[in-house]
Copies of this chain bind each other. A is one copy, B any other.
Amino acid sequence: MKKNKAAIYPLDAWTVTEEEFTIENNYRNETTFALSNGYIGTRGTMEEAYEFDVDTGMEGNFINGFYESTDIRYGEANFGSPLKSQTLLNLPNLKETRVTVDGETFSLLKSSVRDYSRSLLMKEGLVRRSLIWTTKEGKQIQMDSLRLVSFDCKHILAQRMTLTALNFDGEARVSSRLNAKVENHTRKTNPIVDYGPFGPRLLSGLLTAEGTKLIYVGTTMGSALTMGCGSAVSSFPEEAVTEIMAETGEMTGECILSLNLKKGKPVILDKFMAYASCLDSPEGSLEEFVCKQLEAARQMGMDELISRQKNYVEDFWSRASIQIDGEDSLSLIQGLNFNLFHIFQGAGRDGRCGMPAKALTGEGYEGHYFWDTEMYMIPLFIYTQPEVAKALLSWRFNTLEQARDRARIMGHPKGALFPWRTINGEEASTYYPLGSAQYHINADISYALSLYCQVTGDEKFMIDMGAEILMETARVWADVGSFSEVKNGRYCICCVTGPDEYNVLVDNNFYTNLMARENLRDALEAVRLLREKAPWKLTELKNRLQFEEKELVLWEEIIDKMYLPYDEKRGIYPMDDGFMMRKPWDEERIPPQKRSWLYENYHPLFIMRHRMSKQADAILGFYLHNDCFSEEEIRRNYDFYQQVTLHHSSLSTCIFGIVASDIGYHEEAYRYFMDSARMDLDDYHNNFYAGIHGANMAGTWQALVNGFAGMRMHHGRLSFKPHLPEKWTRLTFRVQYRGSVIQVDMERDKVHFTLLSGSPVLLYLKRSKAGDKPLYLEKGETISEKI
């Protein structure tokens, strides 16, 4: 296992602070200080002119779901290979606000700076920066700024700049700029990928500068989508401003405010920025829409935006915050809060978009949505912000038509197959062995939505959207495999790729078959629910989908006969039919510097023919469906996979940690957790600059709640099996369950459950020998139990 690195930032539970600006750390810190509301995302780039190259930084502003397309080229294309790329587009930058005194423009790289500090304020949802600039002539100006991306007004990004002349009276100029000369870095940073928009991709439809207001509307060349954005310095002390000028250049706009600074008297400038696209405001002109948003923000004012932001964020923390007492607790809490904050801010909330693997913090993975959302992020939201989970699942529902089309392309006459990676709902994977072959995406989505409905009790969602997803995904499972005579009539699924991307195009991937079976079970359950509670909906679905009752009989049979590969001698479930036969892995053959993502240095065939695993695969199945296996069985499997797994994915260790907890390998579970908790904050992989590792961030929460506290939801029963790590004296967290908020407070030998709000709930405490103990919890009540 990897050794933890030293902390990069000062330890503080709720704040991440950069105490000194250095160009070496700039690229990474742009991710650390990235802000988002799930709709707009902006990297933590500075207010000043952007002075970085491709190795030291990347300006980035995104609208979730707003993408560009180009033709994809292949050495040899296959039928069904996507021909159009989808790339989250890097949009015009509005944040730039330059300050000039005596003709000298402030620059972090060139100016004399002291008392620099920048903080991510995780309780407020803000980034705050302050510094003192000494001009060449010796003038000192205190420059403070605040930035937020509003959760309350999804189109709004806001900045407050406060300038205080410390040792002089005199003039200054502030230039608020719009820069539409932007382009994605994709190709520059990922030479093996032959797609993505290279060069500027927005055709400017409008660019205006008037007063302090800058407006831009542009349309992408490939996807023909239109976006608009604009900014306005809407609040400033009138007495301090002597002149306002505005002008536009080629793809740029600028508003210049001439200021009269008085020594010691702060001048506060509030700048509002808005982004919108044709995807979410189809009526009227985008120009008008953006202006309206800016005007609304002006009327609301920066103070109100800050206040609402705090309320929104506090509400999240009130349901999600975690306390640890014990060794390293401050460090861990900071790491966990950082993870939760980034996940929390990065998820699409409007049902029109999902959550990219790196949220909106960078261009990595083209901004695509993967299974990460359903298996890593959504479970966290289900228990902390179920409305966000619902929005993300609704987005999947809204792409069902594309998934149906994809199923036809893949040869399935019925049902829906969700894309492995996508923005607009269509498959965007250009290498099917690691892409479309990952059929498990269907079961992952089904799992997440079933969990959502079980935990929230949201039957309406199941009736309106969930059942259709479950039925359509089930139909693909019922078509893709067959009852195989050579496997005693068991149902076999051939030629798929499981989560483990080092074992591709395999037969009977354990995880896939297991999850497919549960997908079918949940679909049957959904049909039963419709029959009982919404027969009209069932009729509608039967008609629209040409769904026949006999399909249900087939599903039952498949569930009954689903094949899971099993090795009698070892008593384990091999990852797939061929896994045990593969060549034993000899790590010694791999030079140490190549012991990471193997595809970088090895041919796929070399990788595939060895008996090793990139990441949690079967083990993920044992986590999600541990009720289907005995603890002893899971232990044997864990021992086996522990030996063969290389953890060359950030989606791996958190899952191993949870299963380690399940089977009582508490020290190992703790080590895994420690490897995950601060992975991004301390940049273990030296690639945080490219964006967050969202799945791992959310996975650390699961490691605590599903791991150490052993929380599970099976068959409508919420259960816990707590075990506090040796080095801690207490772990406290909260989960939302059927509208109620439960606090779980774990000590060495005791656990306390408190119902903080909502209706009474029934929980189960799992005890190794004595069986499950039901706990009925009323509002305000605390039940304490020995563990």
What residues of B have a CB within 8 angstroms of the CB of A602 in the complex?
79-80, 411
Are the CB atoms of A481 and B583 closer together than 8 Å? yes
Contact B192 A77 (CB under 8 A): yes
> Could you say which of B505, B581, B606 contacts A608, with CB atoms under 8 Å apart?
B505
**Interface assignment of A23: CB less than 8 Å from any CB of chain B:** no
Nearest residue in B to A434 (C-beta to C-beta)? B76
Can you spell out 18 A-B residue pairs with CB atoms less than 8 angstroms apart? A72-B75, A73-B75, A75-B194, A75-B195, A76-B192, A76-B434, A77-B192, A79-B599, A79-B600, A80-B602, A432-B604, A433-B433, A494-B581, A494-B609, A507-B581, A577-B577, A577-B578, A577-B581
Least CB distance from A188 to B in Å reads 16
Ranked nearest first, the 10 interchain pairs of A and B with the lowest CB-CB distance are A75-B430, A411-B606, A80-B603, A76-B431, A482-B583, A486-B580, A495-B608, A73-B73, A495-B609, A484-B581
Cβ distance A241 to chain B, nearest Cβ, rounded Å: 53
Residue-wise, chain A 572-585 has the 8 Å CB interface mask toward B (1 for contact) of 00000110111110
By a CB distance below 8 angstroms, the chain B residues around A484 are 580-581
Shortest Cβ gap from A444 to chain B (Å): 18
Q: Which chain B residues border A273 with CB–CB below 8 Å?
A: none
- Closest B residue to A580 by beta carbon equals B486
The smallest beta-carbon distance between A761 and chain B, in angstroms, is: 44
Does A436 contact B578, Cβ atoms closer than 8 Å?
Answer: no
Tell whether, in the assembled complex, residue B581 and residue A492 are in contact, meaning their CB atoms are under 8 Å apart.
Answer: yes
- A78 lies within 8 A of chain B by Cβ: yes
Which B residue's beta carbon lies closest to that of A578? Answer: B507
18 more A-B contacts (CB under 8 A) besides A74-B74, A436-B605? A73-B73, A73-B194, A75-B193, A75-B195, A79-B601, A79-B602, A411-B606, A413-B589, A432-B603, A433-B433, A433-B505, A482-B583, A482-B584, A484-B580, A486-B580, A494-B581, A494-B608, A507-B578
Residue A330 interfacial (CB < 8 Å): no
Task: Tell me if B76 and A193 are in contact (CB < 8 A).
Answer: yes
Partner of A409, one of B436, B507, B603: B603
Q: Which of A595-615 contact B (CB under 8 A)?
A: 599-606, 608-609
A397 shortest CB reach to chain B, Å: 25
State whether the Cβ of A303 lies closer than 8 Å to any Cβ in chain B: no
A295 within 8 A of partner (CB): no
Which residues on the B side are within 8 Å of A606 (C-beta)?
A: 410-411
One digit per residue, 1 when the CB lies within 8 angstroms of any chain B CB and 0 when it does not, for chain A 61-79 equals 0000000000011111111
User: Per DSSP, are chain A's interface residues mostly helix, strand or loop, or mixed?
Assistant: loop
Residue A240, interface by CB 8 Å: no
Q: Does A480 make an interface contact (CB < 8 A)?
A: yes
Q: How many copies does the complex hold?
A: 2
A172 to chain B, nearest CB (A): 50
Interface residues of A in 383-409 (CB under 8 A from B): 409
Chain B residues within 8 Å of A487, by CB: 581
A76-91 CB contacts (< 8 Å) to partner B: 76-82
Contact with B along A283-325 (1 / 0, CB 8 A): 0000000000000000000000000000000000000000000
A238 at the B interface (CB under 8 A): no
B605 touches A432 (CB 8 A): yes
**A567 interfacial contact with B, CB 8 Å:** yes
The answer for the CA separation of A480 and B583 in the assembled complex, in Å, is 8
Total A residues in contact with B, Cβ cutoff 8 Å? 61
Of chain B, the residue at the smallest CB distance from A194 is B73
Set of chain B residues within 8 Å of A75, measured between Cβ atoms: 72-74, 81-82, 193-195, 430-431
**Interface membership of A122, Cβ < 8 A:** no
Provide the bound-state CA to CA distance between A270 and B679, in Å.
Answer: 80
- Which residues of B have CB within 8 Å of A194? 73-77
Once the chains are docked, how many angstroms separate the CA of A437 from the CA of B609?
A: 11
CB of A24 within 8 A of chain B? no
A408 → chain B closest CB, angstroms: 10
Q: Mark A539-583, 1 if CB is under 8 A from B, else 0.
A: 000000000000000000000000000010100000001101111
Q: What is the CA–CA distance of A193 and B492 in the complex, to the nearest angstrom?
A: 34
Q: Is the CB of A486 within 8 A of B567?
A: yes
Q: How far is the CB of A170 from chain B (nearest CB, A)?
A: 57
Taking the nearest CB of chain B, how far is it from the CB of A427, in angstroms?
A: 10
Q: List chain B residues, Cβ under 8 A from A495.
A: 605, 608-609
Q: Does residue A485 face the partner (Cβ distance < 8 Å to B)? A: yes
Bound Cα distance A73, B608 (Å): 23
Cross-chain contact B605 with A437 (CB below 8 angstroms): yes
Closest B residue to A582 by beta carbon equals: B494
**Residues in B whose Cβ lies below 8 Å from that of A192:** 74, 76-77
Instruction: Give every chain B residue within 8 A of A494 (Cβ-Cβ).
Output: 578, 581-583, 608-609
Could you tell me the distance between the alpha carbons of A409 and B603 in the complex, rounded to whole angstroms?
Answer: 7
Q: Can you list, as one digit per residue, whether each of A458-491 has a CB less than 8 Å from chain B (1) or not (0)?
A: 0000000000000000000000111011110000
CB-CB under 8 A from A605, the residues of chain B are: 410-411, 432, 436-437, 495-496, 505
Distance in angstroms from A368 CB to nearest chain B CB is 13
| List of B residues within 8 angstroms of A80 by Cβ | 602-603
From 605 to 664 in chain A, residues with beta carbon under 8 angstroms from any chain B beta carbon are 605-606, 608-609
Residues from chain B with Cβ under 8 Å of A504 in the complex: 505
Q: In the bound complex, what is the Cα–Cα distance between A431 and B433 (angstroms)? A: 11
Q: Which residues of B contact A507 (CB under 8 A)?
A: 577-578, 581
Residues in B whose Cβ lies below 8 Å from that of A492: 581
Bound-state CA distance A413–B577 (Å) is 28
List chain B residues, Cβ under 8 A from A480.
Answer: 609
Please give, as numbers and ranges, the residues of chain B lying within 8 Å of A77 by CB-CB distance.
Answer: 192, 194
State A216–B277 Cα separation when bound (angstroms). Answer: 59
Report the minimum CB–CB distance from A2 to chain B (whole Å): 24
Closest-CB distance, A524 to chain B (whole angstroms): 23
For residues 494 through 533 of chain A, which have their beta carbon under 8 Å from a beta carbon of chain B? 494-496, 504-505, 507-508
A508 to chain B: which residues have CB within 8 Å? 581
Cα distance A409–B433 when bound, in Å?
20
**Residue ID in chain B nearest A567 by CB atoms:** B486
Cα–Cα, bound, A150→B76 (Å): 37
> A430: which B residues are within 8 A, CB to CB?
74-76
Min distance, Cβ A418 to any Cβ of chain B, angstroms: 15
Contacts of A582 in B (CB 8 A): 482, 494
When distances are taken between beta carbons in the complex, the residues of chain B under 8 Å from A604 are 78-79, 432
Closest to A606 in B: B411
Residue of B whose beta carbon sits closest to that of A490: B581
CB nearest neighbor in B for A598: B79
